[in-house]
Structure 1
Amino acid sequence: MTKPTFPSLTLTQRAALLDVPDTGRVPVVIDSDTFNEIDDQYAIAWAMLNHERIDLQAVYAAPFTNSMFNDTHEAVKEAKVGMDLSYDEIFRVIDKVHVASKPAVFRGATAYLKDLATPERTPAVDDLIERAKNCEGTLQVIAIGAPTNIASALMIEPSLVEKIHVLWLGGHAFDWENTYEYNMLQDIAASRVLLDSGVALTLFPCMGVTNTLATSVPELEHYLLNTSEIGHYLGSESSKCPWIGFGNRKVVWDIAPVGYVLDASWYTSHIVPSPVLNDNFTWSFDHSRHPIRVIKYIERDHLFVDMFKKLIKG
């Protein structure tokens, strides 16, 4: 296919798409590399347990590769393997959350985006396109992995720019020494689609912002072990992360976009021109580019208090 041409939003249109309603039930989908680390599971479960606020309609399995697993699992060397593992893990999580309505689950990309002319059509991409088209308002797309599925959907159906708001955990803060961040570096081409397409985007930088969402294995075990089925599962799995050593913190990064949908007053943000992702993983800035929202600070305790309360009840 040829390189897509994306609609150009007016400032009024963009502001409306970026504005998560203060009240009511909000339509949401989550795109997640769920098996990669334990924090995606927290995000999905917490969203499901806030069903009075979040209408979690679907969860998409995102691709990932990871060489840092310990004895519990061998290294994931192919994006498709990571996606398949995430697909299975999503079901393990939602089966342990006891709510009346559960989200649909769809397989995503089997490879990272090669270039801007070859998106991969997958069940996740097809569902995102149809769900956004049929959504009465703005579909909130929470992206907590490599944004391959979302970028592919935008490239196949550029009119999605007029229907969705992407809340993406990716990159580092603009004043960090680089933006060499896991979700971004997994799929550089897809990351650039989010930044360059003009889609309504709220960016949650990792180092410098969401790294404040720190806890510890003892805290997670204290609050969650021997509680609900999902609470116990998350509390027991958290200690298996191979890079958490004695005295180390555990950052639950991926709850950040879920918390924003729940209550944006927990966050400080600003509107700035969308940055340019350079080949050397640094940011450049062009003030003529379209605006996005960037999170600058998070009131960490508001998120953890609500999340622990919900997970304990399950």
Structure 2
Amino acid sequence: MKAKFSSMTLSERMAKMDIPTSGNIATVIDSDTFNEIDDQFAIAWAMLRHDRIDLQAIYAAPFTNSMFNDSHEAVSDPNVGMTLSYEEIERVIDRVKVEKKPEIFKGSTRYVYQSTTAERSDAVNDLIARAHACEEVLQVVSIGAPTNIAHALLADPSITDKIHVLWLGGHSFDWHDTEEFNLLQDKDASRVLLNSGVALTLFPCMGVTNTLATSVPELQYYLAGTSEIGDYLAQEAPKCPWIGFANRKVIWDIAPIGYLIDASWYTETFVASPILNDNLTWSFDNRRHPVRVIKFIERDELFVDLFNRLIKG
């Protein structure tokens, strides 16, 4: 699939990457929520920071994963992963006690590389409509494979000029490869995002957001017995099959939410949008459009705010 994306000037693109320093920020989240136990933290935190984030909608992203523990069968169909994520989003927002709750939409049933045309799922249609209706720049937090967002960009390239995507994907540029889960799930969607010229802030995983580490005992110590959502997260935290004795638990997906709350917690730089190679490494061409890349995160600032919000639920 090919699309002719809108062409922004450098100043226009940089302006769209600016985060307002005050007020509520129009935001949507695109999430493979059932895949792990970090999307749940991101969604709950965004909802509980309604003083800062106007969370309007959550989109269920597709995923496939063979690494579940004994209580779950492996997910080999992206449509199944998307449906499981939709159901998990419902469970999370039901436990967060806020007056205004975001709408939920089912997303893509197939990856971009499996498609011959852009799939107009409910999530894609809502993202397109919401982008056009938003008076300011719509902040699109992507904490899964960027399939829904890529389908939306391909279906309506004009939204390139109306959104800012905050994507947790890939590894840092000095890592030996970029074999990261969100990027790997749908490499074609990742390329659409990187090549489209959309205003983009990239949150690399290894080398940057892996600093957002906690542990199951720490989560249970601070959250168990505090609130309905706190209890749920403390209960679910040990269920990731790769968390063993004394292992850390990285809450990757809170990174973009924290950036919307307070960008001063982050160190950033601007580079030419990277090129995703077939061998899953990065290469660069300085003639390409710029993107913002997060280099360092003040980990404690995020966790202090996160835990303080969750315990009040």
Q: Shorter-chain-normalised TM-score: which range? A: over 0.9
Gaps spanning 5+ residues in structure 2: where?
A: none
Does structure 2 conserve the Cα–Cα contact (< 8 Å) formed by 1:116 and 1:155?
Answer: no
Residue of structure 1 in register with 2:220 after alignment: 221
Letter in 2 for 1:171: G
Contiguous gaps of at least 5 residues in structure 1: none
Structural mapping, 1:154-233, within 5 Å: 154-233=153-232
Number of aligned pairs? Answer: 313
Instruction: Give the whole-Å Cα distance in 2 for the aligned partners of 1:97 and 1:249.
Output: 25
Alignment of 1:50-61 (within 5 A): 50-61=49-60
Look up the match of 1:124: 123
Q: TM-score, normalised by structure 1?
A: 0.99
- Moved beyond 3 Å, runs of 4+: none
SS of residue matched to 2:86: helix
Equivalent position amino acid for 2:271 in 1: V
Q: Work out whether residues 116 and 189 of structure 1, in 8 Å CA contact, stay in contact via their aligned partners in 2.
A: no
Q: Secondary structure at the match of 2:293?
A: strand
Q: Displacement of 1:115 after TM fit?
A: 6.7
Letter in 2 for 1:184: L
Contact 1:244-1:250 at 8 Å conserved across structures: yes
| Separation (CA, whole Å) in 2 of partners of 1:221 and 1:261 | 26
Q: How far apart are residue 96 of structure 1 and its match?
A: 0.2
Q: Which stretch of the first structure deviates more once superposed, 220-229 or 111-120?
A: 111-120
Q: Is the 8 A contact 1:144 1:183 kept in 2?
A: yes
Code of the residue aligned with 1:36 in structure 2: it is: N
% identical equivalent positions: 69
Q: Deviations over 1:178-225 (max 9, x none)?
A: 000000000000000110000000000000000000000000000000
The CA deviation string for residues 100-144 of structure 1, in whole angstroms up to 9 with x for no partner, is 000000000001112785221100000000000000000000000
Deviation digits for residues 130-178 of structure 1, max 9, x if unmatched?
0000000000000000000000000111011110000000000000000
| Equivalent residue number for residue 25 of structure 1 | 24
Distance in 2 of aligned mates of 1:8 and 1:50: 34
The change in CA–CA distance for 1:117 and 1:74 in structure 2 (over 3 A counts) is: closer
- Of stretches 69-78 and 48-57 in structure 1, the one that deviates more from structure 2 is 69-78
Q: What secondary structure is seen at the aligned counterpart in 1 of 2:45?
A: helix
Aligned to 2:63: 64
Return the letter of the residue paired with 1:311.
L
Aligned counterpart, 1:266: 265
Q: Which amino acid aligns with 1:85?
A: L
* Paired letter, 2:183: M
- Specify the alignment match of 1:307 in structure 2: 306
Aligned to 2:152: 153
**Are 1:132 and 1:160, in contact at CA under 8 Å, matched by a contact in 2?**
yes
> What secondary structure sits across from 1:3 in the alignment?
coil
Matched residues in 1 for 2:72 and 2:258: separation? Answer: 30
2:1 aligned with 1:14:
no
Q: Deviations over 1:19-70 (max 9, x none)?
A: 0101110000000000000100000000000001000000000000010001
2:97 paired residue number: 98
CA RMSD of aligned residues (A): 0.9
**2:179 partner letter:** Y
1:82 partner amino acid: G
The letter of the residue matching 2:156 is E
Q: What is the match of residue 135 of structure 1?
A: 134
1:246-282 per-residue CA deviation (whole Å, 9 max, x = no partner) reads 0100000000000000000000000100000000000
Letter in 1 for 2:295: K
> Whole-Å Cα distance in 1 between the matches of residues 64 and 155 of structure 2?
24
Q: Which residue identity lines up with residue 140 of structure 1 in the other structure?
A: Q
Letter in 2 for 1:167: L
1:3–1:117 contact (8 Å) kept in structure 2 = no
* Partner residue in 2 for 1:275: 274
- State the AA in 1 paired with 2:294: I
Q: State the alpha-carbon separation in 1 of the partners of residues 180 and 215 from structure 2.
A: 22
TM-score by length of 2: 0.99
